[in-house]
Structure 1
Amino acid sequence: MSDEQTTHFGYEKVDVKDKARRVAGVFHSVAAKYDIMNDVMSGGIHRIWKQFTIELSGVRPGHKVLDIAGGTGDLTKKFSRIVGPTGQVVLADINESMLNVGRDKLIDSGVAGNVVYTQADAQYLPFPDNTFDCITIAFGLRNVTDKDLAIASMLRVLKPGGRLLILEFTKPQNALVEKAYDFYSFKILPTMGQIIAQDADSYRYLAESIRMHPDQETLKGMMDAAGFAQTKYHNMTGGIVALHTGIKP
């Protein structure tokens, strides 16, 4: 099997055509416990990371927003309130189980009129060119098979002047933090996954997928290469997470 036909599923090399199926299996498995695990894994800090993303988005009433890999709808819920009745938020996820959990959660919390749900692959977004004022993808890009293809797809469907925000786990900036983070990710996290979600393997994959994700400068370079302007990133929590932003010229 040549490198052109293979990609990484965590630390494992798999056929490109098989990665999407394997990732789907992970998220079908964890969907029901996803929110609980997020809070437990991050000590609730993921809410601060997401709020920072909202604040840097520049989204205003009447805007059209695409929340890719939107999962259980944390960002969508906040954007729905901001864009108001004249705006629209599209919650997109490739995984039907995650999309169903997100839709049920948002409807139960009273979010309805300005949110649309779409099962979509980030690499092949099913929207016309120049559709959205803002696109977010939070903790989803590392699971995409061809990240360059996905970033180009996002650029295509953004309006000129529109903003992309990529929130993702990345490389800690301090060696001690990195060592502690590795211990937590590979020793503690799978055990927590087993106890809470009865699934250690999926959380072991998620830890591995973080390590295989491009570091901050590499991802910025990928956004530059795709054609984004004014690209930058903001490290949070010692670089465990970074928010990358870019504008469509």
Structure 2
Amino acid sequence: MADKDTTHFGYQEVATGDKQKKVAEVFHSVASKYDLMNDLMSFGIHRLWKRYTIELSGVRAGNSVLDIAGGTGDLSYAFARRVGPEGQVVLADINESMLKVGRDRLADRGIAGNLETVQANAESLPFDDNRFDVVSIAFGLRNVTHKEKALAEMQRVLKPGGRLLVLEFSKPRNDLLSRAYDFYSFQALPRMGSLVTGDADSYRYLAESIRMHPDQETLKAMMSDAGFERVQYHNLTGGIVALHRGVKP
């Protein structure tokens, strides 16, 4: 196990202070083709995973929502339509390139009045306590260096009774599916990344970061430790992805 001065970046051991910079380089590299690659990598199924997240969030008109690691804005767009003009959505991402793509894309889709974009680190959120009805983080938690800090921050900024939704790659429940997924992740994804973005290494990191992410039960326990109640998870596509949900007491 890594000591306190190092952490994992995919399968590499790096200085803890260097991980954020290395993750930033990955997303600077892929930002312009991020949506295209998401569609190609998941065969479009990521849209169904995100739709399920929206449904399970219970977001209503007038709510305030924080979409952490919101990237190019898929969830923020859907949340903004749900909360309406009386609500507010904050699209937050630590990566400037991803945030710019998301801001431009949402403006092009006519989302402006009830949406704010903020460059922010999930481990130190620049928001008051008890501000949001819903916090979401989709495919971003595995890139956070100190996940416990980030979960504690998400709990802090939620209102009592507010919900956290964590959508993330996880561990397939079937051995045959797991083997097929490994082959796809480590053979096909880097080649696809090379062809589409000219960057195989970033997609090799993607596959490695997924394998290093806590499994379903471990993440459930981490959310409980951060103070969330009624923590549950739903396996999607055989556990390739899991959606965790918890409530702030």
TM range (shorter): over 0.9
| Residue 199 of structure 1: how far off its partner (Å) | 0.4
How do 1:45-84 and structure 2 match up within 5 A? 45-84=45-84
Question: Which residue of structure 2 lines up, in the alignment, with residue 6 of structure 1?
Answer: 6
Structure 2 Cα separation of the partners of residues 30 and 95 of structure 1:
11
Question: Which residue of structure 2 lines up, in the alignment, with residue 36 of structure 1?
Answer: 36
Structure 1 Cα separation of the partners of residues 230 and 64 of structure 2:
21
Q: Which runs of 5+ in 2 are unaligned?
A: none
Q: Normalising by structure 2, what TM-score?
A: 0.99
| Residue 32 of structure 1: how far off its partner (Å) | 0.2
Identity of aligned residues (%): 69
How do 1:112-127 and structure 2 match up within 5 A? 112-127=112-127
Question: Which residue of structure 1 lines up, in the alignment, with residue 181 of structure 2?
Answer: 181
How do 1:87-236 and structure 2 match up within 5 A? 87-236=87-236
Structure 2 Cα separation of the partners of residues 68 and 85 of structure 1:
21
| Residue 167 of structure 1: how far off its partner (Å) | 0.1
Structure 2 Cα separation of the partners of residues 52 and 79 of structure 1:
12
Structure 2 Cα separation of the partners of residues 160 and 16 of structure 1:
33
Residue deviations 1:43-90 (CA, integer Å, cap 9, x gap): 000000000000000100000000000000000000000000000000
Q: Find runs of 4+ consecutive structure 1 residues off by over 3 angstroms.
A: none
| Residue 196 of structure 1: how far off its partner (Å) | 0.4
Structure 2 Cα separation of the partners of residues 226 and 38 of structure 1:
30
Residue type of the partner of 1:22? K
Residue type of the partner of 1:127? F
Q: Which runs of 5+ in 1 are unaligned?
A: none
The alignment's C-alpha RMSD in Å is 0.5
Residue deviations 1:143-189 (CA, integer Å, cap 9, x gap): 00000000000000000000000000000000000000000000000
Question: Which residue of structure 1 lines up, in the alignment, with residue 27 of structure 2?
Answer: 27
Residue type of the partner of 2:104? D
Structure 1 Cα separation of the partners of residues 226 and 75 of structure 2:
25
Residue deviations 1:112-134 (CA, integer Å, cap 9, x gap): 11000000000000000000000
Structure 2 Cα separation of the partners of residues 220 and 109 of structure 1:
35
